[in-house]
Structure 1
Amino acid sequence: MPTNSSKQVVKKTSGKMGKLLGAANMILSVIPDTVEIVGKITDKTAPIVDKHLDRQHQLKQSLVVIPNLLDVDIQQAKEHLEGLGLQVIVLLAKPNKRYAKADAGEVVAMMPRSGKVRPGSLVKLYYVDDYVIAESKKDIALPDVTGLVLSEAQELLENLGYRVAAFPIKPRSQYASVTVNQVISMSPNPRISLTPVKKGSLIKLFYLDAATKQVSRILRKSEQDKKAANAQTIKKNLDKIQEILPGKKVAKRIK
């Protein structure tokens, strides 16, 4: 027969189990409500997401492709961009050596240069005129014309706005095999000069003419003959030493 103490234990245990079952039932009853709430939120959010994606798609479809209009006439480039629904600002570019060979009135830079933009976006076009081109040519680096034929070197430098004076170079043996009228050196020397040479400056070209080449050949022949004579003299001296000292070997070095 159960005692009072055992009855109390059973009662407490039953009470705890009841509380646990009650909590479990509460959780189970809440889960369907939560799922229902999440579903409702998802149903409401889906149209918003779809609408956002549609807007992005429409935006991409409406973007205007900017073509590369470098080297195009500034007026034609402006009209073309305005025809695409874009705003255009025309600006005169500052002198730069990159524009030295450009034609007056052509586009030399643009911003943005290419890509896709929204309709009505602003595009800046930079162009050059005769003044900008003339100023840009002043910054051109002096080209190295050594090795060129004199006439070609003169034409190149004069087209760049330099004055040219040509002088025959002095004969030297190393010029014996150089082509006649070839530029041997120049002053100022672009490989040495650290400061830019301004347009209109005098450039001196030193070239090899026919007379200089002939003398250079004579000098080389003389040097070769002298070298051969020295080698022969050394050989004779070694032979004499060999005769005086027949029992010893003498190293022969002939250069």
Structure 2
Amino acid sequence: MLEGKTFFFVGAGNICESMVKGLLSTGTVRPGDIRVSNRSNQERLNFLRNYYGIVPVDNKKSAAGEADVIILAMKPQDIYSALQELTGAVKENQLIISVLAGIPTSLIEDGLGLAVPVVRAMPNTSCAVLESATGLCAGRYTNQDQLGLAAEIFRKMGEVVILEETLLDAVTGLSGSGPAYIYYLVEALEKAGENAGIPRELARPLVLKTLVGAAKMLLETGEPPEVLRQQVTSPNGTTMAGINELNKGNFQGVIRRAVLRATQRSRELGRIIVEKQCAQQ
């Protein structure tokens, strides 16, 4: 499905680099099939060219017109200026993939003024190690083959879940922001280990392997997390004592509020961008 396809990235940040890495890992996409533009940072483009062999471009219209797949990977607040630059170059037989948080597919479709297929994606920062959890949804003009092509691209970077666009902000709050929640948990566990007398340099490998092992148990056994938790939690044992302390702090409630607030913020950011553009017109 990817063989013979050409790609144009608008934006050269971390998500762009991770997607480039994933595409090249297939062996079917060649560095010369990938073109990348950036708003200003020429140094970044030089790095991507020297490290991955991709083709940096200045003429966005020309690059967009020649690509099979156009990936919008700039900052969300730059969406309107990017669409302006692409208008007239994009054709209805091309696929647009957007990784812009809070930006609906309809905004891109309307901004280009075409019945162009758009797929909205929300990967996370773990795509840097090809272990992303990515949510995908199709715009109104996207068919199943085009959605399948987008899914194949992101499967090179990890797990893909396809859902309705109404859930994409929730994906942002859950798995998009999720790595930060895990890093925060690791911070807390490391500090707790130190408080219990374990030096930080020894606590870290214990914590990290515990996380990896627990994730592997969930993936390989298929058991619900509550079942695995109960298997480890003996009555009146050490784990139960720890869980009781977490419950006193309403641990699950705090996590729920974090995900819901991040979801809400994703919606807010999308509205702010639209409202700001309307005020300038």
TM over 0.5: no
Question: Where is the helix percentage greater, Structure 1 or Structure 2?
Answer: 2
Higher RCO (C-alpha 8 Å, min separation 6) = 2
Give me the TM-score of the superposition, normalised by structure 1.
0.24
Q: Radius of gyration: which is bigger?
A: 1
| Structure 2 length-normalised TM | 0.22
